[in-house]
Structures are given as structure tokens and as C-alpha cells.
Amino acid sequence: MAAGTAAALLAALGGILWLAARRFVGSSVQRLHQGGDSGLMRGKTVLITGANSGLGRATAAELLRLGARVIMGCRDRERAEEAAGQLRREVWPTGGPDSGPTSGGAGELVVKELDLSSLSSVRSFCQEMLQEEPRLDVLINNAGVFQCPYMKTEDGFEMQFGVNHLGHFLLTNLLLGLLKSSAPSRIVVVSSKLYKYGDINFEDLNSEQSYNKSFCYSRSKLANILFTRELARRLEGTSVTVNVLHPGIVQTNLGRHIHIPLLLRPLFNLVSWAFFKTPEEGAQTAVYLASSPEVEGVSGKYFGDCKEEELLPKAMDESVARKLWDISEVMVGILK
Ligand SMILES: NC(=O)c1ccc[n+]([C@@H]2O[C@H](COP(=O)([O-])OP(=O)(O)OC[C@H]3O[C@@H](n4cnc5c(N)ncnc54)[C@H](OP(=O)(O)O)[C@@H]3O)[C@@H](O)[C@H]2O)c1
């Protein structure tokens, strides 16, 4: 009996050590810029949607460290100002370069209100951007909703399709002129490997006939990829590039709509601590696509862990991409 208990304890200890080693030693994700490129983004303005939490927040921190002026496009001003305060303390523990008169705009952090579930909010956000910002070098379409219960946006679209695809579709289209006049400029789209389980079912884009929250998330992430590829085609010859990425599985607030029974939460937390990426690790591909000279001029590609990856044929279907673009134009009301 005593030998059995000792064996069980040893096995548990071994398991914990293995998990800890995997977490701290085995991470395959290296930070791109280890302090050596601190001026790489100086003079560049970056807009990140959903920058108050998770991947968006971590991406903002990295790009601030590289000297960018970062605009956080967030739906809740209070949450965004709180995150901005924390970011400033993290990035500049002794007071920010944006607080001094000699900063020249380097490393500045700005909060603007943007609710992607409201077309009128997207429109007024873009109006403010065009009035106040002389340039936009990088747009990072990061904000996202994951597997929420059936909900509609202010304009009557299914929430995941509405926020993850349509809100960003309108945002990007309204900011394209500014991106073009700031060229060379970049657009970075955050998708997910779960796109593989989605399809663009044109006959029920608002899921009024049936709603499956996993399918709808995957569909919205497939739409992100099709949008990227169609936009890259339309932007050929403009010096504005657009690429899409999957960040891996990352410990963020994305699972807020997923109910995990109380008793299983410690196990879930242990597993996610051991196996999921940290937000900083998950943000590396977005930071890479936004800042690295290696991807200057690269467009229409899909990346994971800072490397180009292959897509399934359904994500490369040009006729579906064009049809989705045309229908999206009608849905958001920008058809000329
Ligand atoms: N975490 C992962 O494992 C994972 C894997 C694959 C892909 N992704 C993708 O990564 C992106 C970032 O997600 P995350 O993991 O960092 O999750 P997160 O921590 O939940 O961050 C999502 C961000 O999106 C914002 N957002 C949600 N609805 C919005 C709306 N209507 N208007 C404006 N902003 C809105 C959230 O704002 P509030 O804080 O105000 O809600 C939050 O800032 C998403 O596109 C997600 O699909 C994540």
C-alpha cells in the first residue's frame, strides 16, 4: 500500500515536472525582437482592434517597445483606458517616451472607441481616424468573438460573422485610402486554424435557419482568410500588403462564453498553463507580419509561428472569395 502511494506520488511529481519543463524550456516560440530593434517601428502608426485584451494587448506592447505609435481600437473605453495604463507601466516603468516633449511621437499609445458590432460605430471611428491621423502604416484586424450564444449585431448580422468578418471588412475598406497614402503599408488579419471546420453557406449568412456556435466561429475565420486573399488580389501594385495568420492556442479571454464546470476548472487551468501559448508568445506572428523587413512586399499569404503555411483548397477558392466580397459590400452598405 505504502509502495503504491509512493509510486502514485512519484508519477504525479514527474508529471508536474514534465509539464513545467515543457512550459518553461520547451516553448517553440521565440520572441522576435529581444530588445535589439527598439527603433524598428519609430515613426509608424499602427491600429490594433481589440487591443485591450489577450493577443491584441500583447501585440500592442511589443510594437510600442519597437517605437510605434499604437492606436487601440476598443469597444469599451473604460476597459481600454485601464489596459492602456497597465501597458504604459509595463513598457515604460520609469515614465513613457510619449510623456516627454522630445518623443517625436515614438512609442505613443492612443485609445479610440470602436465597436465592430455596429456599422455606425465603425463609420464614426473611421471618420475620426481620417480627420486626426495623417498616416496609417499598419492595420491589425485582431478583435474577435468566439462561440457566443446566438446574438445579432446592431445591424442584424449573426454576431461572430458580424464582428469577426463584416465589422473588419467595413473598417478596412474605409481606411484603405489612408493606408494607400501611407504606403508601403501593411494589413494583418488574425484568423484561426479552426477555419478548417467552416464553410461559407451563402444561403444563411445570418444563421437564421440554424445556429451552431462552433461552425459560425469557423465560418467567420474562413471569411477572414478569403477576405485577405481577395484584398491582396485587389491591392496588387499598390505597396499595401495584406496577410493572415493563426496564432496557435493562446491563454486569453477568448473563451468567455464557454462554460467549464467548477470542478473541472483547476484541471483546465493546469492544462492551459502547460500547453497553451502565453499572449506574448501568441502575438509573435502578428508582430512579425507588422514589422519584419523579411515580409516586405509579401501579400496574400497565411502564417503561423512566423512562417508561411499551406491552406486548404476551400480557403483558396477565388470564386467564393469574390462572391463573399461582393455580398459583404452589400451587407455593410458600401456598394457603389
Ligand atoms: N486565443 C486563442 O487561442 C486564439 C486562437 C485562434 C485565433 N484567435 C483569434 O485571436 C484574436 C484575439 O483574440 P484573443 O484570444 O486575444 O481574445 P480576447 O482576449 O477575448 O480578445 C478579444 C478582443 O476583441 C474585442 N472585441 C470583441 N468584440 C468586439 C467588438 N464588437 N468590437 C470591438 N472589439 C471587440 C474584445 O473586447 P472586450 O475586451 O471589450 O470584450 C477584446 O479586446 C481573435 O480574432 C481570435 O479569433 C485566438
Q: Give the span between the Cα atoms of 121 and 73, in whole angstroms.
A: 11
Instruction: Give me the pLDDT at residue 19, please.
Output: 62
Residue to mutate (ligand 1; options 153, 213, 253, 273; most atoms within 8 A of CB): 253
Q: What is the DSSP string of 294-330?
A: GGTT--S-EEETTEE----GGGS-HHHHHHHHHHHHH
Supply the pTM of this predicted model.
0.91
Concerning whether 288 is annotated as a catalytic residue, the answer is: no
The 10s digit of each residue's pLDDT in 253-302 is 998 888 888 888 888 888 888 889 999 999 999 999 999 999 999 999 99
Q: Determine the atom of ligand 1 nearest the C-alpha atom of 221.
A: 47
List the residue whose alpha carbon is closest to atom 5 of ligand 1.
249
Residue to mutate (ligand 1; options 251, 252, 278; most atoms within 8 A of CB): 252
Q: Determine the atom of ligand 1 nearest the C-alpha atom of 279.
A: 16
Give the number of residues written for the chain.
336
**Mean pLDDT of the residues in the chain:** 91
List the residue whose alpha carbon is closest to atom 36 of ligand 1.
50
| Residues contacting 133, CB < 8 A, separation 6+ | 45, 71, 178
Gap from CA of 182 to ligand 1 centroid (Å): 27
Q: Give the span between the Cα atoms of 183 and 255, in whole angstroms.
A: 36
15 pLDDT higher than 70: no
The 10s digit of each residue's pLDDT in 317-327 is 999 999 999 99
Instruction: Give me the pLDDT at residue 108, please.
Output: 92
List the residue whose alpha carbon is closest to atom 47 of ligand 1.
144
Instruction: Give me the pLDDT at residue 313, please.
Output: 98
The 10s digit of each residue's pLDDT in 37-79 is 678 999 999 999 999 999 999 999 999 999 999 999 999 999 9
- What is the average pLDDT across 32-39? 66
Residue with cell 507588422: 290
| Residues contacting 121, CB < 8 A, separation 6+ | 75, 113, 114, 115, 154
Gap from CA of 276 to ligand 1 centroid (Å): 16
Out of 150, 211, 217, 288, the active site residue is 217
Q: What is the DSSP string of 153-169?
A: -TTS-BHHIIIIIIIHH
Instruction: Give me the pLDDT at residue 102, please.
Output: 42
Lookup: cell for 284: 509573435
156 pLDDT higher than 70: yes
Pocket of ligand 1 (CB under 6 A): 49-50, 52-56, 75-76, 79, 114-117, 142-146, 163, 190, 192, 246-247, 249-250, 252-254
The 10s digit of each residue's pLDDT in 187-230 is 999 999 999 999 999 999 999 999 999 999 999 999 999 999 99
Q: Give the span between the Cα atoms of 48 and 114, in whole angstroms.
A: 11
Residue to mutate (ligand 1; options 47, 55, 76; most atoms within 8 A of CB): 55
Gap from CA of 90 to ligand 1 centroid (Å): 21
Which range has the top average pLDDT, 2-16, 57-71, 89-103, 261-275?
Answer: 57-71
- What is the average pLDDT across 120-146? 98
Which amino acid belongs to residue 3? Answer: A
Instruction: Give me the pLDDT at residue 81, please.
Output: 97
In this predicted structure, which of 130-139, 248-257, 258-267 has the lowest mean pLDDT?
A: 258-267
